[in-house]
A and B are shown apart, each in its own frame.
Chain A
Amino acid sequence: MWLLLPAAIVFTAFFLLPLGNLFLIGGSGARGWGAYTAVLTDAQYLRSLVSTVALAAATTAATLFISGITGVFLTRARFRGRALLAALLTLPLAFPGVVIGFMVIMLAGRQGLIPDISEWLIGERIVFAYSMAGLFLGYLYFSIPRTILTVMAAAEKLDLRLEEAARSLGAGPLRVVSDVIVPALKPALLSAGAICFATAMGAFGTAFTLATRINVLPMVIYTEFTLQANVATAAALSFVLGALTWAVLATVRTAAGTTVAAAG
């Protein structure tokens, strides 16, 4: 066990103690300990909390739907180019948020592909990169690769005989999906969904690149800290955001009975 010591010392000195310190600083500002409830009592913070949670929930639902379908399809179907398709779908796995923001600008920004297509189709340039919709697109981009990876790993372990049995009992393909495949994938979907939600809550790089009109909690924290020099509020808000994210992950992990953060 002494081999754990170096990691434990570094971790305690640079993470646990600073985090405790952050908690104390959060209560030391003009609002006192009320800073911790400000996220609920202050209309501006509450609004950004609500839009952050809504965005994270929408991202999670859409990601699970898209990655669930493609992940199971790629595990089951046999066709030429399948491995290449799977490799391409999981390639952006570790792209940073800033770069993903730029990918959204490439797709839906002022000189983007989607405005080009919409101009050609309906004669009007639809630019939405710099809004909540752009951020949603960015979070999808971020979440799809890692979720597909989790779904594929879980789908490979599915018992094909259960599906055969359901089919031989007369279940149609949609019944098989809703009654056999989805329940069997539930632990994987739950844990992938929790990671997806947690990442969307705290992600910051994409919002930073798209900037301007987006009011999610990480952006509020950044603004409080850098522009307003309001360290105590920034500390309290980020502590609340961290605790909230951690609580979601912990709850789902208990429900799914697996180690959620494994796929990071």
Chain B
Amino acid sequence: MSVARRSIWFWPLLAFTIVVCAFLIVPVGMSMLAGVTRNYFIGIDSGLTLEWVIKVWTDYRHTILLSIQIALACLVCTLLLGVPAAYALARANNAATRVIEELLVMPVAIPGLATALALIVTFGNWGGFRRSWLIILVGHVLFTLPFMVRSVLAVLASIDLKSLEEGARSLGASFTQRFFGIVLPNCRAGIVAGSLMVVTLSIGEFNMTLLLHTPLTPTLPVGLADAYASLRLEVGSAYTLIFFVIIIPLLIALQWASQPVNLARSALERKPT
């Protein structure tokens, strides 16, 4: 872009971009501030307080802990199911695997409400399962699994897995040795990015969870919706503030980890091993 052209278009475009950015970021800042303001209607002059945050922590701590528990369990499940699946898909890479890939993505493509209703009409009579947090976990695993598989698959597709493995096999490495010695270290970047995505999505999942939860198993987003509907703005804001404190570091880590450059670089760095 030449200097002359920049002088005409640059500033309006920059202004437009800044307005869009403000649209996204200003409400985040406002709600964080509202969560520590004594009376939001009066404004910041009413003073800052941690009263609302403490109230949320006292009343809703169980939702936060349950969400973290589900997210970690979901991570374990997607790692155990997704990484081997991605490896198998990368190795086979034919028409059948593409159909399987398509199917795996379906729970992301169709609305969470439909998936949740399908689980409820099918397992609604399995009292113990229906009432426990495990049915929520199942929903989250279905929804997040494609992200793990795709993330790992993207890294595996960028390296010459076959040659690496054949080299190792010719030196006498068993399948287990190859899987843990070559495959896993090579797709580490994909596993990290996939894991961050899985945890972030699981902690924030609402569409399915609202139908799948019971009064005994409310998660963080379900509690948030409850607080928004029934409590004063400051409490809803304080709750959102706690949510942001959990989710924003994950999102920042995700931005770093899923940069294609980083993925490619870490794949390259590890290639000679």
Residues in chain A within 8 A of chain B (CB atoms): 1-4, 6-8, 10-11, 14-19, 21-22, 25, 66, 69-70, 73-74, 76-77, 79, 85, 87-99, 101-107, 111, 113, 140-141, 144-145, 153, 173, 198, 201-205, 208-209, 211, 218, 221-222, 225, 231, 234-235, 238-239, 241-243, 245-246, 249, 259, 261-262, 264
Contacts and interface: CB of A to CB of B under 8 A. Distances in A.
Nearest to B256: A87
Contact of B248 (A10, A69, A91): A91
Nearest to B179: A3
B11 to A, nearest CB: 10
B95 interface: no
Which A-B residue pairs are the 3 nearest by beta carbons?
A: A202-B111, A96-B204, A242-B110
A1 B118 contact: no
A242 B89 contact: no
Contacts of A10: 81, 141
Question: Chain B contact residues: over half helix, strand or loop, or mixed?
Answer: helix
Most B CB contacts (10 A, CB to CB) among A10, A74, A145 go to: A10
A205 B118 contact: no
A89 B15 CA distance: 14
Interface string B202-229: 0011110011000000000100110011
B18 to A, nearest CB: 7
A199 B257 CA distance: 24
B133 interface: no
B113 A85 contact: no
12 contacts: A7-B145, A19-B114, A25-B121, A70-B16, A76-B1, A79-B10, A90-B255, A106-B31, A144-B24, A221-B113, A222-B210, A264-B146
A11 B104 contact: yes
B110 A202 contact: yes
Contacts of B171: none
Given A77-B10, A249-B109, A205 B221 contact: yes
Contacts of A144: 20, 23-24
Contacts of A113: 26-27, 30
B100 A208 contact: no
Range class of the B interface residue count: 35 or more
Contacts of A104: 27
A239 B114 contact: yes
B247 interface: yes
A203 B207 contact: yes
B200 interface: yes
B17 A74 contact: yes
Residue from the set B10, B20, B221, B237 with the largest chain A CB neighbour count within 10 Å: B20
A99 B243 contact: yes
B17 A96 contact: no
A88 B147 CA distance: 22
B254 interface: yes
Contacts of B106: 15, 246
B13 A94 contact: no
Contacts of B145: 7, 11
Contacts of B251: 91, 93-94
Contacts of B113: 202, 204, 218, 221-222, 238, 241
Nearest to A12: B103
Given A73-B13, A85-B18, A241 B121 contact: no
Nearest to B13: A73
B100 A8 contact: yes
Nearest to A10: B81
Given A4-B85, A17-B122, A91-B24, 17 more contacts: A7-B145, A11-B103, A11-B145, A22-B114, A25-B121, A70-B20, A79-B10, A92-B24, A102-B240, A144-B20, A144-B24, A145-B24, A204-B206, A208-B206, A222-B211, A242-B114, A245-B111
A234 B120 CA distance: 12
Contacts of B1: 76-77
B112 A202 contact: yes
Nearest to A239: B114
Contact of B117 (A22, A69, A202): A22
Nearest to B103: A11
A113 B200 CA distance: 28
